[in-house]
Amino acid sequence: MISTIVFILLVIAGTAFFTINTLKVKRNIYLGKDLNRKDNSAERWKIMTLVALGQKKMFSRPVPALLHLFLYAAFVITQIELIEIFADGTMGSHRIFRPSLGGFYTFMISFIEILSVLAFIGTIAFLARRNLLKVPRLAQSELNGWPKMDANIILLAEITLICCIFMMNGADEVLYSQGLSHAQNLGDSSLGFSISSIIGPILFGGFSEHALHIIEKIGWWGHIIMVFGFLNYLPYSKHFHLLLAFPNTFFSNLNPKGQLTNLESVTNEVKAMMDPSFAPPVADPNVTMRFGAKDVTDLTWKQLLDAYTCTECGRCTSSCPANITGKLLSPRKIMMDTRDRLVEVGKNRDANKGEFKDDGKALLGDYITAEELWACTSCNACVQECPVNIDPLSIIIEMRRFIVMEQSAAPTELNMVFTNMENNGAPWQFSQADRLNWKNE
């Protein structure tokens, strides 16, 4: 009875805390400007299914993709076992579904155990890649400190969770084989799970009945505590992409790569110049017009969703020609800086009763430098490589617009191009009248 009450309280507290933090993330995302991404729903569902659920873009790099698939499949399929754990915890039962499901129950738990072993292999491999092999894209400067620790924490938590599963199932196997299980009417004297039936007797065969019951309970409670701990850790971690990858891919940009957006205010000015009868929309006097983006609130909600969805895998940075040639730009850092600044703005609002108090800081300058932005070649390699369709280039373009249109701080080379376009109608330093002289040569 006491364990049931403790379990229910754990579920309520864990769910409530997760909900509160998830709503804060949602609030932060919607600090961004409005953007309509409700068109072509059929195409969006297709992209989400292939990219988020089907992991389509991961397999451009087969080895990490296969290792990630082990963890991904185990994460998804293992949730089935949670249904029984919730039922047992609430009703004070033990393996409540086994009598009714029989052999199918044994098959499903065995399948989950096999996936758990594969996930264990994948986890060890990922720990080695980060900490021993030091794969270049996983050892860059932007991952120093918390990002590296975050990745290791979640991998070690995964190992702990897997150990809890096999403690629970392994001790159960030994208890069943000895006819000592605390559950009733569960059929034969062996659970027959694929992995636990082998390692259970090896690890726990010499333990007393009392010790076996304790080990089984430690595994059971450890499993559910790790699940809720992991759930409530997600909003503070890059691993929130486990949930956000689905909406992020659904709201992907469906326009061709390389097609840039136009500022509506500038477009309206051009239309008015070309057509005197055109009446531009009346601007809201309460809204400050800004060209481009200086801070996170100047970006769209989709760009902020991108920032929270970033997995920090570094595929974008490892494919970036600017980064490869030694320039300061790292598309991954752009996304991480955007998320860090957004979290800071959210905390500022929480501390000031929902209002933002100017802290004298901004995304541009305090987090991302102009040198990083102008190193970008706008090639879209980062967009192409991202496994969850994040678009770092769109953020870079918006901040460069701000530098040019509001700060008038474009590099000298660009200012020369702008001057030539204004005076000559072309980027070159000769007039339009001379542009076709070559044909007379």
Per-residue pLDDT reduced to its tens digit, 218-245: 999 999 999 999 999 999 999 999 899 9
Please provide the average confidence, as pLDDT, over all residues in the chain: 88
- The band of 285, judged by pLDDT with boundaries at 50, 70 and 90, is low
Tell me what pLDDT residue 146 has: 92
Domains of the chain: 61-250 (no CATH), 264-424 (1.10.1060)
Residue 180 has a pLDDT of: 73
Q: What pLDDT does 182 receive?
A: 64
Contact 328, 371 (CB under 8 A): yes
pLDDT greater than 90 at residue 30:
yes
- Does the pLDDT value for residue 64 go beyond 80? yes
In this prediction, residue 314 has a pLDDT band, given cuts at 50, 70 and 90, of: very high
Lowest-pLDDT choice from 68-77, 87-96, 167-176, 391-400: 87-96
The 8-class DSSP code of residue 30 comes to: T
Mean pLDDT over residues 359-364, rounded? Answer: 93
Reported confidence tier of residue 432, pLDDT bands at 50, 70, 90: low
Reported for 283-291, long-range contacts at CB under 8 A and 24+ positions apart, including other chains, are 289/265, 290/402, 290/406, 291/263, 291/265, 291/266, 291/401, 291/402, 291/405, 291/406
**C-alpha–C-alpha distance, residues 84 and 204, integer Å:** 24
Q: Which residues contact 328 (CB under 8 A, 6 or more apart)?
A: 369, 371, 372, 375
pLDDT value for 301: 96
Instruction: Reduce the DSSP state of residue 118 to 3 states and report it.
Output: helix
Alpha helices in 352-425 (DSSP H): 363-366, 370-374, 381-385, 392-405, 412-424
- Answer yes or no: is pLDDT of 408 > 70: yes
- Partners of residue 364 on adjacent β-strands: 368
**CA–CA separation, 212 and 246 (whole Å):** 41
Spatial separation of the C-alpha atoms in residues 329 and 311, rounded to whole Å: 18
Q: 121: which 2 tokens?
A: 């292999």
**Full-model pTM:** 0.88
